Structure 1
Amino acid sequence: MNRLRITPSVIPNLFTSLNMFCGFFSIINASQGHYVYAGWLIFIAALFDALDGAMARLTNSSSELGVELDSLSDIISFGAAPSFLLFATYYAELNTIGIILTSLPLIAGGFRLARFNVQLVGFAKSYFTGLPIPSAAITIASFVLAFYDNGYSELHSQIIIPMTVVLSLLMVSRIRYDSIPRFSLKAIKEKPFLYILIIAALIVIILYKAEGIFFSFVFMIVFGIFRHIFHHLKNKKNTNRV
């Protein structure tokens, strides 16, 4: 009789499964009109998403199966869940065009995850090509938590469509975004400015809650765009000199 064999990979896969569950539960809550719960469940899913990678490194159990399972979880928690949250709080009023627009983060996120899996070499990564799908999802969830109150104001309503389109385009773009750094004295010495920004963002989040999260992620997204433009112009200038 074969005995059940428990391997170290069970631990990170458990966190990945919890990520998937939170995404599914977020969709259920949004469908029932519990938008605050739905938004926070996306944040909790992001926490489990970060922890599964940390647990995989800690137990030395990174695997291709884990990568695929992580992507399947991410498309639910950070693709379907935030898209449906936007649909429930705004796009449902726009009928067919609303369905099309609200599907963009889901479709773009799926494409981005597929591209990531195909291009993945090893399991350690110092940067992402394109805006990571959890970052796009957190931006959307924090926007809903910060600005939805039985509807959006006229100003915030005008932001939703551009935000949806821009986040979707950034996910499939070639713009590089830094991965979450591991806190160490060496890393702080190598990238002191990055850690200053992280500390500043944490202070803003503590002071302003959901609004702080939204504006911190907007800053990170815009910073990545300007850095990409700067490096592109710099490389072009160096090429012209040669």
Structure 2
Amino acid sequence: MPPNAVTLTSLAIALVAMWKLPSAVWPTWSVIGCIVLDVMDGRIARMSNRPNALGAQLDSLVDVVAFGALPALLVLHHAASTAWMLHVPTAILFIACAALRLARFNAKTTQAPQRFFTGLPTPVAAGLVASVILVLQRSDQAGHASGPLSGGVICLIAGLAAWLMVTKLPFPSFKTNGGGAASTTPKRRTLIAIVALMFIGLFFHPSLTLLLTFAVYAASGWVIRRKMNQFMDRLAYAKAAASGTGRIGCPAATEHLDRP
């Protein structure tokens, strides 16, 4: 199947979901389906060696609908009972940040796959919002997530996801292995173990498993940024020690480096 056909299928699912949203529960799950299709179209394009500028632009346009407009409508529908109509600015903020995130990605994208994304990817942000709603729907006997407390939680998560999309935090892309076979084998084993645990969790409690998966990925940005900062600090200390000057304004820097 051509990658663009998969992308347009995601667009069709998002459109039907927005049409059926007021009278059905399943549209929330359609966000997860669009995420699966988004992963598939990129994988098919890379495997067939047919990535092109048209496909990249089409993918971003569809993402604005599937991962921007649809989650924003979910917020408007399921968080309508919040005080001060908080769901309205939250939904506007979410779709605006999704559009900015995708525009920034298109402006900076290169032909070579990158190890890290800048800002939370829109599919993950949309999945975070959808999975929270699914968990709340499961806890509600009527199958709705529209209570005042539920609406506040949805707005909080949607607002956090919107902010993460436009930050400069690095998030793993999983598109490059970044090393030789010796370095990638442990990573692949870890990834396989994580995927296996995910499938087990999806069998017992799919909505909660999805929420935990998206939440862990969203938190990884802070972890990666901290590790990068620590690496840059060690590199600066090493350069200072090699030059024998130490850090400016820190006479004890070289003494610290000489310690075992």
Aligned equivalent of 2:207, options 198, 202, 210? 210
Aligned to 2:161: 167
Shift of 1:61: 1.4
List aligned pairs for 1:183-222, cutoff 5 A.
186=181, 188-189=184-185, 191=187, 192-222=189-219
Farther off after superposition, 147-156 or 211-220: 147-156
1:24 corresponds, among 3, 7, 15, to 15
**Secondary structure of 1:224's partner?**
helix
Q: Residue 14 of structure 1: which of 2, 5, 11 is its match? A: 5
Counting only pairs closer than 5 Å after superposition, residues 104-183 of structure 1 correspond to structure 2 as 104-122=93-111, 124-148=113-137, 149-152=143-146, 156-180=150-174
2:23 counterpart residue number: 33
Q: Deviations over 1:37-82 (max 9, x none)?
A: 2111111111211111122123221111110000000000000001
Q: Secondary structure at the match of 2:117?
A: strand
Give per-residue Cα distances to partners, 1:103-127, cap 9 Å, x unaligned. Answer: 1221111111111111111053332
Q: Deviations over 1:175-218 (max 9, x none)?
A: 111124589x9485152444433333332222211111111211
- Find the aligned partners of 1:43 and 1:117 in 2 and give their Cα distance: 23
Q: CA deviation at 1:96?
A: 5.2
Secondary structure class of the residue paired with 1:128:
strand
1:211/1:154 CA distance change after superposition, 3 Å: farther
Moved over 6 A (4+): none
Q: Say if 1:100 and 1:76 are closer, same or farther in 2 by CA, change over 3 A.
A: same
Instruction: Give the drift of 1:168.
Output: 0.7
1:209 maps to amino acid: P
1:152: how far off? 4.7
Question: Which of 40, 46, 63 pairs up with 1:74?
Answer: 63
Report the more deviating stretch, 36-45 or 230-239: 230-239
Amino acid at match of 2:9: L
Give the stretch that moved more between structures: 38-47 or 189-198: 189-198
- For residues 121 and 223 of structure 1, what CA distance do their matches in structure 2 show? 23
Cα distance in 2 between the residues matched to 1:155 and 1:235:
43
Q: CA RMSD in A?
A: 2.6
Q: Per-residue deviation at 1:153?
A: 5.8
Structure 1 position 161, deviation (Å): 2.5
- SS at 1:150 equivalent: coil
For 1:90-148, what per-residue CA distance to the aligned partner results, in whole angstroms no more than 9, with x for missing partners?
13655654321111221111111111111111053332111110011111111112212
1:232 has 2:229 as partner: yes
Match of 2:39 among 42, 50, 66: 50
C-alpha distance in 2 between matches for 1:48 and 1:178 = 19
Q: Residues 85-104 of structure 1 correspond to what in structure 2 (within 5 A)?
A: 85-91=74-80, 94=83, 97-104=86-93
Shift of 1:155: 5.2
**Counterparts of 1:73 and 1:67 in 2: how far apart (Å)?**
10
Q: TM-score, normalising length from structure 1?
A: 0.83
Tell me the matched-pair count. 230
Of the structure 1 ranges 145-154 and 49-58, higher mean CA displacement relative to structure 2 is found in 145-154
